[in-house]
Amino acid sequence: MSIITYYSFIKRYSIFNSNRSVTRCNCVNANEEVTLNIIVGTRTRLNPPLPQEYWGNAVILKSIKVKAGELLENQLGFSALQINKVVVSQNYEEVIDSYKGWVEKPVMFSKKLLLMANKLSISSSPKFSVYSCDFGWGKPVGVRSGMANKGDGKVTLFPGVEEGSVDIEVCLLTSTLLAMENDEEFMEFVTV
């Protein structure tokens, strides 16, 4: 089993579309459950909110689960609505309950837990303005997550170098990526 990390600049594409494409290209049975793991920021969901200067992680992991058939039969709006429901529901009480649950039964997240069959795991640092950093040798030309953060189904989003753009780092099995090259819905949005 080999995993390829694919760097692309994708226009007008979304993680909702990629979840559909990966599910389709992996030939997942319509009755099997597919999962999208997302990280939800909790800084502004706490009361009082954490200050802007807070220098730590304040996140919770949430999973969106649907049957593969549902995902493939429905359009983009279906996936977006499922994710929106989970994100919007994360109010102060939900966040506190999540943290209390972790204190009572801690779970150390690992690649094995996050990157399993029929799962995509998405992470991002949208407020980290990496392209504005200059350590003396010029501004960055690209951002990557590093070797330790790789596994089948891992997707990382970074603010792009151009205003409003997004750089996407996708790690998938070679067989999935090769199948995606023939996926018309996916390739409609890709520029390499």
Catalytic residue positions, numbered: 134
User: What is the distance between the alpha carbons of residues 79 and 65, in angstroms, rounded to a whole number?
Assistant: 10
Q: With the C-alpha atoms ordered 64, 68, 73, 76, is the resulting torsion angle positive or negative?
A: positive
Which amino acid, 133? C
Reported as type and span, the H/E element at residue 69 is: helix 68-73
- Three-state SS letters, 88-143: HCCCHHHHHHHHHHHHHCCCCCCHHHHCCCCEEEEEECCCCCHHHCCCCCCCCCCC
